[in-house]
């Protein structure tokens, strides 16, 4: 087993919570820190939520507060989906009082990158503001990061707008800085994550496992599930968990190298991740790996479904990881 150091940069957020619960069960991930950023809700709430999730997970990982607003422009949130508190209004068992923030997220990222001696992997599943600030403050940082796996963007579609996915739209300038940082960026976008969903029955199945984590998982997903059903979707998309799984099991996804730029000025396309995957005209360099597909194994595994007849060992692994909730 290849165990590697990781920082999870996130904006919890319901699917962020599921991603953190999943990350704990992946022995390959040596999670050195969780850094919180404004996104789904305000940064004070994402910071507190990270502590709440870790409390439920019974996991001791340091949490650092990051940016409260994007580099440019007004903050947007997804409180209409995740709830005003970011966790669907679900009370966490026991009193969780997060400590007063000390070290800033970008300083913690740099410190851990130096300590990891070029092996640190960043899994970023929220707006990329913390990473952009870190790269701006510490010019040597790109050479110390092995790769960045992001949940964000898409090659073909958007959700916050017809052109843009939420995490990128929330801070396009930060996203462009990250894509142009020189660090290998692996983009797990909507093209893939919309295929990785849990139906209502499957959410109930996991909730029935009966553990504190399973009950928490079931409770926080109810509002998002209702929202997804209202939109006519087959289930609730596991956006952020898909990125965490990709960080460990790249072989279960399909991906292509591509040039990616982030549109920062377009009147109706701001926040779009523009890729050259399907274009005759190409960008000067292939600065990203764009994940383009997710096999039945991952899709079914994320749904905690029964095994397919093919590639049974891989599907069983994913299913068992999810059932450790």
Taking the CA atoms of 163, 165, 169 and 174 in sequence, report the sign of the dihedral they define.
negative
Closest of 49, 118, 2, 25 to residue 324, by C-alpha: 25
For the chain, how far is it from start to end, CA to CA, in angstroms? 21
Instruction: Give the span between the Cα atoms of 39 and 16, in whole angstroms.
Output: 11
> In DSSP terms, which residues pair with 254 in a beta bridge?
293
- Cα gap 176→168, rounded to integer Å: 9
Cα–Cα separations (whole angstroms), residue 74 to 41, 106, 174: 13, 21, 13
Are 137 and 242 a contacting pair, CB within 8 Å?
A: no
DSSP state of 270: T
DSSP symbol at 39: S
CA of residue 275 relative to chain centroid, distance? 20
Active site residue 82: no
3-state secondary structure of 274: strand
Which residue among 51, 82, 186, 239 is the active-site one? 239
Distance set, CA 36 to CA 106, 119, 152, 159, 163 (Å): 10, 21, 16, 22, 26
The three-class DSSP label of residue 182 is: coil
Positions annotated as catalytic residues are 239
């Amino acid at each position: 087993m290849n165990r590697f150091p990781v920082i999870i940069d996130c904006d919890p957020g319901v699917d962020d919570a599921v991603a953190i619960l999943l990350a704990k069960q992946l022995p390959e991930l040596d999670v050195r820190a969780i850094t919180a950023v404004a996104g789904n809700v305000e940064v004070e709430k994402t910071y507190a939520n990270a502590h709440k999730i870790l409390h439920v997970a019974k996991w001791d990982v340091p949490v650092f507060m990051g940016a409260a607003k994007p580099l440019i422009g007004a903050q947007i949130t997804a409180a209409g989906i995740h709830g005003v508190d970011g966790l669907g209004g679900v009370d966490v068992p026991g009193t969780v009082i997060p400590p007063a923030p000390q070290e800033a997220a970008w300083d913690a990222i740099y410190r851990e990158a130096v300590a990891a001696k070029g092996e640190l992997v960043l899994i970023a599943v929220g707006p990329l503001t913390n990473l952009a600030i870190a790269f701006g403050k510490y010019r040597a940082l790109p050479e110390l990061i092995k790769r960045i796996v992001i949940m964000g963007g898409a090659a073909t579609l958007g959700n916050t707008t017809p052109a843009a996915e939420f995490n990128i739209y929330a801070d396009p300038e930060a996203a462009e800085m990250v894509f142009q940082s020189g660090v290998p960026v692996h983009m797990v976008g909507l093209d893939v994550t919309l295929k990785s969903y849990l139906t209502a029955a499957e959410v109930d199945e996991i909730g029935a496992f009966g553990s504190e984590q399973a009950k928490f998982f079931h409770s926080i997903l109810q509002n998002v599930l209702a929202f997804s059903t209202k939109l006519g979707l087959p289930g609730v998309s596991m956006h952020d968990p898909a990125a965490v799984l990709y960080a460990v099991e790249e072989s279960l996804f399909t991906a292509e190298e591509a040039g990616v730029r982030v549109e920062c000025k377009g009147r109706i396309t701001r926040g779009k991740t523009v890729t050259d995957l399907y274009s005759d005209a190409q960008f000067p360099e292939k600065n990203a790996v764009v994940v383009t597909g997710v096999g039945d194994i991952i899709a079914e595994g994320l749904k905690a479904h029964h095994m397919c007849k093919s590639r049974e060992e891989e599907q069983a692994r994913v299913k068992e990881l999810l059932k450790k909730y």
